[in-house]
Amino acid sequence: MIGWTDAAPPFKTPLIERCEAALALPLKDQTVETMRLLLGQGIAIDMLLPRALDILELDILASGDLYEGDLLASCQRLPASYWREHPDHWVRLDSILRDFDQKVDQVNKERAGFMANNPFGAKL
């Protein structure tokens, strides 16, 4: 079990119940969704972020239950104070993002050539 970083909340809401269920999972059993949820709430960042970065290195658009890329969005929303205390994690995420940017640039270059050869003469 990972555990709360602060005192337990005074009453339960559906979000708190989901977080508690996610916290009850061993680290090895955390899913993209549970990591997205906990990181989005600022819970257990030190333990979860390295694993989330491993996943993002393989699939930057890895998703939980919200939308494609929601794990990345949760990581990018972490507070500046966390990144200041963990510059190695910041550098790692920045590297993942730069790699993605290069891939997108390459796709856009290829797309320009594809569109230039459009046999229909217009954008569809």
Helix (H, G, I), strand (E, B) or coil at 118: coil
- Is the pTM value of this prediction over 0.75? yes
Q: Give a three-class secondary structure readout of 34-89.
A: HHHHHHHCCCCHHHHHHHHHHHHHHCCCCCCCCCCCHHHHHHHCCCHHHHHHCHHH
Q: Where do the structural domains in the chain lie, given as residue ranges?
A: 14-116
For 9-48, the pLDDT digits (tens) are 677 899 999 999 999 999 999 999 999 999 999 999 999 9
For 49-97, the pLDDT digits (tens) are 999 999 999 999 999 999 999 999 999 999 999 999 999 999 999 999 9
